[in-house]
């Protein structure tokens, strides 16, 4: 894959990107996104969907096809200083500061995580999975400091958007707490692995903390990085994203109080546009290239990730699977298996076996010792191209394919 070569004047990499996998929030279809990035001559782009990494493989695959370097990340939901198992809502500020306080009435803050290498990619997947399994609060899978510490290796982190803990602390006037948080994150991700993120969409919530963010970066010796909170591909796609947000909040576009984005420019801006926005901080744009250079991930598309299951001697995984289904049917319907249930079991068995045997060695017709077994014929028979299944004997849970009429 091509690498993003730094240019101090005319290049930029988008590192804060919400694709269609940011459900009912991101309107950037992955294919359209790469078309636009390619048209603009940008050599790399990231995906940082909200909370989940479901789109990572599709993003990587389409990047390969387009010759653009993919950077896999997530805009993580992070607990407000609590354990991910703790559902307590937390406020950092005092009464009257609610508008500037922790998002979702004290449920979470944000931060941006990017995989630097394959170890980081795997850690990103692990942390995201555990955030969902352990830290789910409403619709938000939340990480905590424990997950960040356990799975921080191979990741680059930024302070995040205005909903990040650091910006939240700064808006609340909590300078010491903001510095402490930034220092903790720098300890986790390393001095060169933590960046102070800057955004500018013309919003007061962003501009009022810029000076403090720059001072904080200088205080802890961190680099700054410029991002655009990208939610759609082209500037004229803004209306589509507004409609998504209205659906998300159960509102209509006619509702003046509906949830919507203030400010403008949440699209794939050209490098020239981004460098104009951050004309006084060219290093913030240069550092997007620095991060892109450091990130190199891949997926092993030839590996077989199907688990191997122990089976009795003389059986293979396919034949034993079919027999287990048959036993289950008789256990569930001791008085006789209804025709509809039999038909559904046959259909689902065929689909599962065909999908599992498609290019996967673990479903090959071999015995548990590795030799071809006597069950091979019946195993192969479980993958018919046409026709229906029928029992060969009511006393034996073996299957064969019947001829079509």
Average pLDDT, consecutive stretches of 10 residues, N- to C-terminus, the chain (405 residues): 51 97 93 98 98 97 97 98 97 96 96 98 98 96 98 98 98 98 98 97 95 98 98 93 90 90 93 97 97 97 84 92 95 96 95 74 44 40 41 37 38
| Predicted TM-score (pTM) of this structure | 0.80
pLDDT of residue 4: 46
Distances (CA, A) of 133 to 57, 87, 130: 21, 13, 5
User: In angstroms, rounded to a whole number, what is the distance separating the alpha carbons of residues 327 and 383?
Assistant: 19
Residues in contact with 148: Cβ distance below 8 Å, sequence separation at least 6, in sequence order: 78, 127, 157, 185, 188
Residue 360: what pLDDT? 52
Question: What DSSP element (H or E) covers 248?
Answer: helix 238-248
Which residues neighbour 277 within 8 Å (Cβ) at sequence distance 6 or greater?
200, 226, 269
Domains of the chain as residue ranges with CATH: 30-294 (3.20.20.140), 317-401 (no CATH)
Q: How far is CA 170 from CA 48, 67, 97, 278, 367, in A?
A: 24, 40, 12, 21, 64
- The 3-state DSSP class for residue 355 equals helix
CA-atom Rg of the chain in angstroms:
26
Query: What integer pLDDT is reported at residue 43 of this predicted model?
Result: 97
- 193 CB neighbour count, 10 Å cutoff: 22
Q: What pLDDT is stored for residue 309 in this prediction?
A: 84
Say if CB 73 and CB 48 are below 8 A apart.
Answer: yes
């Amino acid at each position: 894959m091509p690498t993003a070569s730094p240019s101090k004047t005319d290049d930029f990499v988008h590192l804060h990107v919400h694709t269609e996998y940011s459900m009912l929030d991101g309107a950037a279809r992955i294919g359209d996104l790469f078309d636009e990035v390619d048209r603009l001559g940008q050599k790399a782009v990231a995906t940082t969907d909200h909370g989940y990494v479901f789109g990572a493989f599709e993003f990587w695959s389409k990047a390969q096809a387009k010759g653009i370097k993919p950077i896999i990340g997530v805009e993580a939901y992070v607990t407000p200083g609590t354990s991910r198992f703790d559902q307590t809502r937390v406020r950092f500020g005092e009464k009257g500061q609610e508008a500037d306080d922790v998002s979702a009435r004290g449920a979470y803050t944000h931060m941006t995580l990017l995989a630097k290498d394959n170890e980081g990619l795997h850690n990103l997947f692990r942390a995201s999975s555990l955030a969902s399994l352990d830290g789910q609060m409403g619709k938000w899978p939340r990480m905590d400091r424990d997950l960040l510490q356990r799975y921080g290796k191979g990741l680059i982190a930024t302070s995040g958007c205005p909903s990040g803990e650091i910006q939240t602390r700064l808006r609340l006037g909590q300078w010491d707490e903001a510095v402490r948080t930034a220092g903790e994150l720098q300890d986790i991700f390393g001095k060169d692995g933590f960046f102070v993120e800057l955004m500018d969409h013309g919003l007061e919530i962003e501009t009022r903390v810029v000076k403090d963010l720059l001072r904080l970066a200088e205080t802890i010796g961190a680099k700054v990085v410029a991002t655009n909170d990208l939610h759609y591909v082209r500037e004229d796609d803004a209306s589509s994203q507004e409609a998504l947000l209205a659906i998300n909040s159960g509102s209509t576009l006619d509702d003046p109080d509906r949830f919507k984005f203030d400010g403008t420019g949440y699209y794939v801006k050209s490098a020239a546009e981004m460098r104009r926005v951050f004309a006084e901080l060219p290093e913030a744009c240069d550092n997007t290239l620095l991060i892109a250079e450091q990130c190199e991930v891949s997926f092993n598309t030839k590996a077989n990730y199907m688990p191997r299951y122990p089976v009795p001697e003389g059986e293979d995984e396919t034949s034993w699977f079919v027999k287990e289904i048959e036993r289950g049917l008789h256990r569930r319907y001791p008085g006789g298996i209804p025709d509809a249930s039999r038909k559904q079991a046959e259909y689902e068995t065929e689909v599962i076996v065909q999908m599992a045997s498609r290019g996967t060695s673990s479903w090959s017709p071999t015995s548990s010792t590795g030799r071809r077994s006597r069950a091979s014929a019946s195993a192969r028979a479980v993958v018919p191209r046409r026709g229906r299944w029928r029992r060969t004997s009511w006393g034996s849970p073996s299957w064969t394919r019947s001829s079509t009429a």
